[in-house]
Amino acid sequence: MTGDVLFRRIALIGTGLIGSSLARAIRRHQLSAEISACARSPATRTRVVELGLADAVTDDPGEAAAGADLVVLCTPLGTYKSIAERMAAKLKPGAIVSDVGSTKQSAIRDLDSSLPAGVHLVPAHPVAGTEHSGPDAGFAELFQGRWCILTPAAGTDDRAVEKVAELWRRVGSKIELMDASHHDKVLAITSHLPHLIAYTIVGTATDLEEDTRSEVIKFSAGGFRDFTRIAASDPVMWRDVFLNNREAVLEMLQRFSEDLVALQRAIRWGEGDKLESLFARTRAIRRSIIEAKQA
C-alpha cells in the first residue's frame, strides 16, 4: 500500500448503478491500485471495459475475488448465497468481504456461513441511488454527502471495519454503525415502504381504462410523476429487498394501512379538522430533513 491507496486490489461483484459508481469513485480518489470486476452478462462486461471501470473483468466471482483485499458485492440480494459459495475457496486469508445491499440481516445470513475463517465480513449499505440501472448509469459523486451504514457483527475485526469505513468516507459518505436488525427496521420505513407504495400506485394507474391512462401520463405533474420515478427502480433488486426484509416491511405496511384507513374515513365523513391537522403535522418532518441536508 503506497500513499493514499487503501487497498491493493478491490473486487467489485456486480457493476450496475452502485457498483459502477463505486468503481468510478475508487478510480477518482485512487483508493485501490487495481480493480477487478465481475458481471454476468457479456454486454455489461463489454461496457465495463469500454468505460474503463476495471483492470480485469470476468463472469466468475471466484476469479474476480482471487487475490483481492476487499470484495464488495453489488448484486441483487438473492444472489449473495451462491456468489459467496462460488468465491469462498478463492478468497485470500485476511480479505474483507462487504456488500452494498439494502437489507442487512439477510446479507449476513447468506454470506457468513459460506465465508472461510480468517475472512472478515463487514456489511455496508450506502443510502444513495437513482432510478437508473446499469454500468452507464453510475457516477463518481453518487455517495457524496450521503450516509453509509455499516452493520458488522459483534466481534468483527476493528481494523477491517475501519478500512471499509475509510473507503466510504473517501468517496464522500458519512458513516453510521448500526445493528443489522435495527437497520432493517429503519430502512423499511425510509426506503422499502416508499418504494412498495410507489410501485403500487403506478400499477393502479396502469390498470385504468385506456383513455384515462393516457391522461394520467399527460397530467402527471400534479404529484404522480414523483412516484413513477421511484417506481422505475430496478425490478430484480427490489423484488429481493421485499423477499429479504419481509417482517419489517409487513410491520410498517400494517401501520401505514391503518393510518390510510383513518384518513379514508375522515374524507368519507367530511372531517376537515382531522385532515388539516395531519397535513400540518407532516410539514415539520420535511423541515427537519432540509435542516439535516438530506433533501
Which residues between 182 and 201 bind its own copies (CB under 8 A)?
185-187, 189-201
Q: Which helix (H) or strand (E) holds 105?
A: helix 105-112
Q: How many residues bind its own copies (CB under 8 A)?
A: 93
Residue 210 interacts with its own copies (CB under 8 A)?
Answer: no
User: Rule CB under 8 A: is residue 41 a binding residue for its own copies?
Assistant: no
Closest to its own copies by CB, 6 or 231: 231
The Cα angle at residue 278 between residues 274 and 284, in degrees rounded to 5: 155
Cα gap 17→8, rounded to integer Å: 23
User: HEC states along 135-153?
Assistant: HHHCCCCCCCCCEEEECCC
Q: Which stretch binds its own copies (CB under 8 A): 10-18, 23-31, 44-52, 216-224?
A: 216-224
Stretch that binds its own copies, among 30-38, 86-94, 153-161, 233-241 (CB under 8 A): 233-241
Q: Which is nearer to its own copies, 50 or 215 (CB)?
A: 215
50 touches its own copies by CB under 8 A? no
As given in the structure block, the three cell numbers for residue 177 are 454503525
- Distance, in Å, from the CA atom of 241 to the CA atom of 243, rounded to the nearest integer, reads 6
CA atoms of 26 and 275, how far apart (whole Å): 48
CB of 71 to its own copies, least distance (A): 24
Q: Is the CB of 58 or the CB of 228 nearer to its own copies?
A: 228
Applying CB under 8 A, which part among 17-25, 30-38, 158-166, 212-220 lies near its own copies?
212-220
Q: Residue 144 contacts by C-beta under 8 Å, 6 or more apart in sequence?
A: 171, 172, 173
Cell of 170: 473517501
User: Does residue 175 touch its own copies according to CB under 8 A?
Assistant: no
Binding residues among 276-295 for its own copies as defined by CB under 8 A? 276, 278-289, 292, 294-295
Give CA–CA dist 24/21, Å, rounded: 5
The contact pattern for its own copies, residues 70-109, with x = CB under 8 A and - = no contact, is --------x-----------------------x-------
Among 149, 165, 172, 175, binds its own copies (CB under 8 A): 149
Smallest separation (angstroms) from its own copies to the CB of 67? 34
CA 265 to chain centroid: 36
Instruction: Find the part of the chain contacting its own copies (CB under 8 A) among 30-38, 90-98, 154-162, 246-254.
Output: 246-254
* Residue closest to 35 by CA, chosen among 12, 59, 63, 3: 12
Task: Give the CA count within 13 Å in the CB-facing half-sphere of 242.
Answer: 14
Query: According to CB under 8 A, which residues from 125 to 144 bind its own copies?
Result: 127-129, 131
Tell me how far CA of residue 138 lies from CA of 36, 79, 142, in angstroms.
Answer: 17, 21, 8
